[in-house]
Structure 1
Amino acid sequence: MIPVFDGHNDFLQRLVAPGADPAAIWAEGDGSGHIDLPRLRAGGMFGGFFALWAPSPAGTDGIDWKARQENPPYAVPLDQPIPTGPATEHMLRLAGQLAALERSGTLTICRSVADIETARDQGRIAAILHMEGAEGVADPDVLHLWHTLGLRSLGPVWSRANAHGHGVPFAFPGDPDTGPGLSDQGKALIAECDRLRIMVDLAHLNAKGIEDVARISGAPLVSTHSGAHAVAPSTRNLTDAQLQMIAATGGVVGLNFAAGFVRPDGRRLPFDGFDPYLRHLDHLLTHLGEDGVALGSDFDGALMPNDLADAAALPRLVEAMRAHGYDTPLLEKICWRNWLSLLSRTWQR
């Protein structure tokens, strides 16, 4: 079994749901979602990026947007900005749950590649603390506090605006060139992330924001969970011009598994087999090279296809890539080596 290191999951949200039993969900699994310790081990996933994300208030327009996404074209309005205080409180709850998993002895919050390798060798899940949408960062001092808590990866925005910049809406077909770039506060955030060696994630950021990050940051450009816009023209996917920008820095793109973002028809519906993934991977490899492509599942945050229902099914994807002609050295790069190489160059530790 080729091991997997994953670019993005939203597992922590399940642990703070009303009535949840976090210890049981993690250690035993409750049959819901995509990730728990038994399924990670069954699928060969030894670690990944665990996201802190603050949900928007429930919509009031009465439209079932998930149903609308089943039959494109669609254009979901951006969520409204949310206050920093409640967002920070929610993210601290999530971080607390990750710390509790670390205390259980089954997981390590990793601050270096050496930490990742040690966790893997000792049979613990290697977790990177990632913030998806920087509503939890009110100012640079708070960013330093998060860094002390273990934060090593940050996406300035989710798909809504905040004090730092603008996200892309969920639309198909659509162009990610929507709205202005980073605010002055957002530009300062990127510069401070560089100083702290916090990886900056371009996923969910609009085109002008990505251009701003490219101008400010000296680190490799990264999108943890995206696809190729040329294969599926979702606003959440990266154009060839953006892929070329990432490639020029020696950066990495993790392929998002979300059905609605990888299907060429954009329909938010499950599918059989792995052909959409292989089409995206081929395109990403063409533009990024073998050292620039990885996996970014979006487990517990997106609709999965029928043959990749959860983390335990990851060997099926690996075998589909092998049958497609990817040899073992390339599979290892895509499945885990490229993430560790990228983090080593970004964190410099």
Structure 2
Amino acid sequence: MTIPFFDGHNDTLLRLLDAEGVDKERAFIEGSKTGHIDLKRARTAGMAGGFFAMFPPPLKTGQAAAGSPALSPDLPPELAWSDAMASTSGMASVLFRLERAGALAVCRNAGELRAAMARETLAAIFHIEGAETIDTEFRSLELLYAAGLRSIGITWSRANAFGTGVPFRHNVDPDIGPGLSDVGKELVRVCNGMGVMIDLSHLNAAGFRDVAAISSHPLVATHSNVHAISPHARNLTDWQLAAIAESKGIVGLNFATGFLRPDGKFVADTGLDVMVRHVDALVEALGEDGVALGSDFDGAMMPAVIGDVTGVPKLLQALLDKGYGEELVRKIALGNWLSMIERTIG
């Protein structure tokens, strides 16, 4: 039995953009031996679609990558709008070339998403991770929205004009740094009005509180885990989970090993049991309608037992083996994201 699933976060577009000397569309459509997602593997796994993130990477300043033992406890430097727009435009170009090639469909609402799935086409939601691509007068937001943007993570793990992210640090609380700027608060209001989902993953606690106070939409963290199990700054504390539950929001389980493990280590020797433990805690905190998947494929170290997108059915089977009914597993895999997209994007 293959259970279809929708993934709350992947960084596949950045991987493809960075692949030099490669026919990017062909590599995605025909499959490759690199990365975590391509079309062949997605179809084999039962992937119905996902949020395809456009993450403007840090400048090449020697900053260690997330999960590296040499990672600095400090936030990376802020990124200029021009640098963010250049990389985002590159990733958007890859996305739309894949759409023209028939590899996927960029979906602007739940109706288009359902239609894509009905014809067995990979459904993609245009998401940006870190709002550096948005200028403070929101002119580029209008342009990106017209292109298909429907989901924004206000920050990555750095500061920008709108708010401050959390550092990649273990055994710390996410309550680090200031809240949203005035223009950051206005960004939330504008996105609510446009039908653009706000993603709280990477945002610090003060910014989270500001979004919770301002937003008329359910609170969403597309790829975060439970701080009580893995006390990483990237994970959600009890009060944050309670706020998400009160808003009838959703959290997508992040597969990155350092955000799963209690010791915070980015090592592949990480079992399905700890992933199920996070799901158990999320279901307890958020209810059956508040839990989904947010893998972070192509952006983080995966448990060896998962490996790539073809490993997702192993997690779903582990939930069934734990005693989760098939109806609930199908909601976690797909139904809860579809419901959230209907309630926020339209």
Q: What TM-score comes out, normalization by structure 1 length?
A: 0.96
Shift of the alpha carbon at 1:141?
2.1
Q: Distance in 2 between matches of 1:41 and 1:144?
A: 33
Name 1:184's counterpart in structure 2. 182
Name 2:14's counterpart in structure 1. 13
Name 1:216's counterpart in structure 2. 214
Name 1:93's counterpart in structure 2. 90
Q: What SS class does the counterpart of residue 161 from structure 1 fall into?
A: coil
CA pair 272-228 structure 1, distance change in 2 beyond 3 A? closer
Amino acid corresponding to residue 203 of structure 2 in structure 1: L
1:112-137 CA distances to partner (integer Å, 9 max, x unpaired)? 11111111111110000001000000
1:171-229 CA distances to partner (integer Å, 9 max, x unpaired)? 01111000000011111111100010100000000000000001111000000000000
Amino acid corresponding to residue 223 of structure 1 in structure 2: A
Between the two proteins, the alignment pairs up a number of residues equal to: 343
Q: Distance in 2 between matches of 1:321 and 1:27?
A: 30
Give the % identical residues: 48
Q: What SS class does the counterpart of residue 306 from structure 1 fall into?
A: coil
1:143-170 CA distances to partner (integer Å, 9 max, x unpaired)? 1111110000001100000011000000
1:40-85 CA distances to partner (integer Å, 9 max, x unpaired)? 0011001000001111122337x7874427xxxx863210001001
Q: Distance in 1 between matches of 2:204 and 2:235?
A: 10
Contact 1:156/1:200 (<8 A) preserved: yes
Contact 2:66/2:168 (<8 A) preserved: no
Q: Distance in 1 between matches of 2:270 and 2:283?
A: 23
Specify every segment of 5 or more residues in structure 1 that has no aligned partner in the other structure, as ranges: none
Q: Which residue of 282, 290, 304 maps to 1:284?
A: 282
Structural mapping, 1:1-349, within 5 Å: 1-17=2-18, 18-60=20-62, 66-68=67-69, 76-138=73-135, 139-347=137-345, 349=346
Contact 2:117/2:123 (<8 A) preserved: yes
CA pair 65-167 structure 1, distance change in 2 beyond 3 A? closer
Amino acid corresponding to residue 6 of structure 1 in structure 2: D
Shift of the alpha carbon at 1:25?
1.5
Amino acid corresponding to residue 168 of structure 1 in structure 2: V
Q: Distance in 1 between matches of 2:78 and 2:240?
A: 26
Contact 1:225/1:295 (<8 A) preserved: yes
Shift of the alpha carbon at 1:272?
4.6
Amino acid corresponding to residue 281 of structure 1 in structure 2: V
Contact 2:261/2:270 (<8 A) preserved: no
How big is the alpha-carbon RMSD for the aligned residues of Structure 1 and Structure 2? 1.4
Contact 1:65/1:76 (<8 A) preserved: no
Q: Distance in 2 between matches of 1:148 and 1:342?
A: 21
Contact 1:24/1:30 (<8 A) preserved: no
CA pair 231-84 structure 1, distance change in 2 beyond 3 A? same
Q: What SS class does the counterpart of residue 47 from structure 1 fall into?
A: strand
Q: What TM-score comes out, normalization by structure 2 length?
A: 0.96
Q: What SS class does the counterpart of residue 166 from structure 1 fall into?
A: coil
Amino acid corresponding to residue 254 of structure 1 in structure 2: G
1:15-54 CA distances to partner (integer Å, 9 max, x unpaired)? 2122232112211122001000001001100100000111
CA pair 188-67 structure 1, distance change in 2 beyond 3 A? closer
Shift of the alpha carbon at 1:101?
0.8
Q: What SS class does the counterpart of residue 172 from structure 2 fall into?
A: coil
Q: Distance in 1 between matches of 2:281 and 2:218?
A: 20
Q: What SS class does the counterpart of residue 209 from structure 1 fall into?
A: helix
Contact 1:163/1:185 (<8 A) preserved: yes
